[in-house]
Structures are given as C-alpha cells and as structure tokens.
Amino acid sequence: MNLADLNRIALAMVTPGKGLLAADESSGTIKKRFDAIKVDSTEDSRRDYREMLFRSQEAMSKYISGVILYDETIWQNAKDGTPLVKLIEQAGAIPGIKVDEGTQALPNCPGELVTVGLDKLAERLKKYYERGARFAKWRAVIDIGPRIPTQTAVRVNAHALARYAALCQAAQIVPIVEPEVLMDGDHDIDRCYEVTQRVLNRTFQELRVQRVALEGMILKPNMAISGKKCPKQASVQEVAEKTIRLLKSCVPAAVPGIAFLSGGQSDEEATAHLDAMNKIGHLPWRLTFSYGRALQAAPQKAWSGKPDNVPAGQRAFSHRARMNGLASTGNWEAGLEKQAA
C-alpha cells in the first residue's frame, strides 16, 4: 500500500468547490427513475443518459471531483467508442466504482439488512483498477424503528465496511466508507443523532482493528436529520449544528474529507444543509457532497430520453453541480437557485 498516493487521491476527491457524482444506481433503481420520466431502461438508454452527464463540460470540469460508477457503466463505451471512464478522466475527474453487491436479510434480526459482496472482492478490485477506478464505495444500510437497529446489525455492517476498506487499500484504491442511517421513519433528529453516533463509533473501531489507514479513505455518512415521517422537521441550522457536533465526536481528524449522501432530501435541502455546515466552518476535515438523486433528478427530467433535450439536461446538471460546489465552500445562497436554466 502506498499511503501517500491514497492520501493524494482522497484529498483530490474533496477538492474545495467540488464533490462526487453518485452515478452508481443499480439497474433496478435507475429503472424506477426512468419509469418516472417515461423512458425505457435499456443498456443503451442508461449509457446515453450517463454519457450526457459525463460530457457536461462545465459541470464535470468545475464542480465534480469524481464519479461513482456501477459495474455495467465502468465497462461501457460512449457512442463514439470512447470508454466512459476516459470521458470522466478527460474532464479532470476521478473514476470510482461501487463494489458492494446489495443487501440481504440479516439472520435472526427481523427487518434488518447486511451488505454482501466481500467474496472475490480482491480479484474484482484488480480489474477495476486496470480499467481506471481509483476509488470505490460500499454502502451499509441501518434502519431506525421499534427495537432497531440491533447491536448485531451495527456490528456486522461495520465489520464488513472495514473489511472492504482494507481490501481496497491493499489494491491501491481509496475506499469510500458509507454507513447510511436511513431517514425513512418517523424518528426525530435526536434519535437519528444517537443511532448515527453508535454506527460511526463502531465503524471507526472496526477500521482501526483492521488497520485501515484513515488518511487514505473518505467517509460518506448521513446527516443528523429528522425522519421523513416525523411531524417536527428540524431546521436547516439545527441539522447543520447537530451534524457537526456528531461528526466531531466520532470522526478522527486524520480522515481527509466527509462527502455526505443526500439520503432522500430534496435538491435544495441537501444543498442548504451542506452550505450551513460549511458556513459554521472551523472543521478538521473538508465537507462536501456525494449526491445521486439530488444531483440527477433535474437533469433526468429535462432530458426525458430525447436526444434534442441533451443540452437542457446538461444545463440542469451544471446548475445543480454549481449550487453544491458553492455549498461545499459555504458560498451558496437560496437566491442563486432562481438562476436555473
């Protein structure tokens, strides 16, 4: 393991003013997104859509530091035969790859899941590296509900995250460690805070046990936020203050950066929360975004599968990327949203 190179890549992933595009939706997930805009989800349509994003020169060169790809996408070529990973590199961004293989029911823990995909991961990482991937992502899913999460779910998912991270670093790939506490329930922000604190503490304990170099990884956590069904939604400022307090209590300063997931927040909510945290400032790590739907909902709608709409889709993507780029330095203002094309 060359830690200096891993650290250099990790720092590039959280370059001030830039963040990560999570374009790693599974075939099932992107089908749901395409169904919403009345587009058939085929290998070609998925390729065309992602090519549109990666050829958005302004967005990719100015505001996107890296792209998380799905296994299908990393092997695809653009219509002109150029590998999609080369389009990303030509824009100055870093190609990455989602390596987990989804979730399965956790035995003896009703309603809880464990992420799978460690078998043969070392061999897969070698192939991804040869294709151009320089970072990877693994997502653990922790739900909040009556009597969950259990200690079992927290421990087995933290162990898998650390095992994955160690394998990545051995393959000279920067791991994004993503323990996501879901915001689907009716819990309040304080319950989210308490569960996320448990999850992060256990995750970093496992990372240390498995000798993962913290300087060569990125954390992708949820924010401390109210559940979607909670009758009392926390304000932007409360989310920012409690999330920072939470992270300071759990995340070592050796970690180069934290790239938040949007987790079902609306486009502007995800941007406003990130901006408010960076406005508070005085943090030991860089805070940026690793958004999927919060970057892509607008361009998907503008594109709607029509070649003539590619410029409109790219304008919509560039706007959202710019808004989040500004938020990553604490320079976003709500009034800027009116500038959307």
Q: Which residue reads 């897969």 in tokens?
A: 124
Residue 318: partners with Cβ closer than 8 Å, 6 or more residues away: 56, 58, 59, 63
Q: Which of 18, 98, 137, 220 is catalytic?
A: 220
283: helix, coil or strand? coil
CA dihedral angle for residue 31, residue 124, residue 14, residue 222, rounded to 10 degrees: 50
What distances in angstroms separate CA 150 from CA 121, 140, 220, 222, one per listed residue?
27, 14, 21, 18
CA dihedral angle for residue 221, residue 224, residue 230, residue 236, rounded to 10 degrees: -120
The burial of 107, by beta-carbon neighbours within 10 Å (0-12 exposed, 13-18 middle, 19 or more buried), is given as exposed
Preceding peptide of 252 cis, ω within 30°: no
Q: Which of 25, 178, 180, 206 is catalytic?
A: 178
99: helix, coil or strand? coil
What distances in angstroms separate CA 131 from CA 94, 135, 218, 251, one per listed residue?
12, 12, 21, 32
- Please confirm, yes or no, whether 51 is among the known catalytic residues: no
Q: Are 162 and 207 in contact (CB under 8 A)?
A: yes
- Please confirm, yes or no, whether 38 is among the known catalytic residues: no
Q: What is the amino acid identity at position 250?
A: C
Q: Are 89 and 95 in contact (CB under 8 A)?
A: yes
Query: What are the backbone angles phi and psi of residue 255, rounded to the nearest 5°?
Result: -70, 125
The burial of 341, by beta-carbon neighbours within 10 Å (0-12 exposed, 13-18 middle, 19 or more buried), is given as exposed
Q: Round to whole Å and give the CA distance between 77 and 61.
A: 20
Pairing type for strands 64-69 and 94-98 reads parallel
Residue numbers annotated as active site: 178, 220
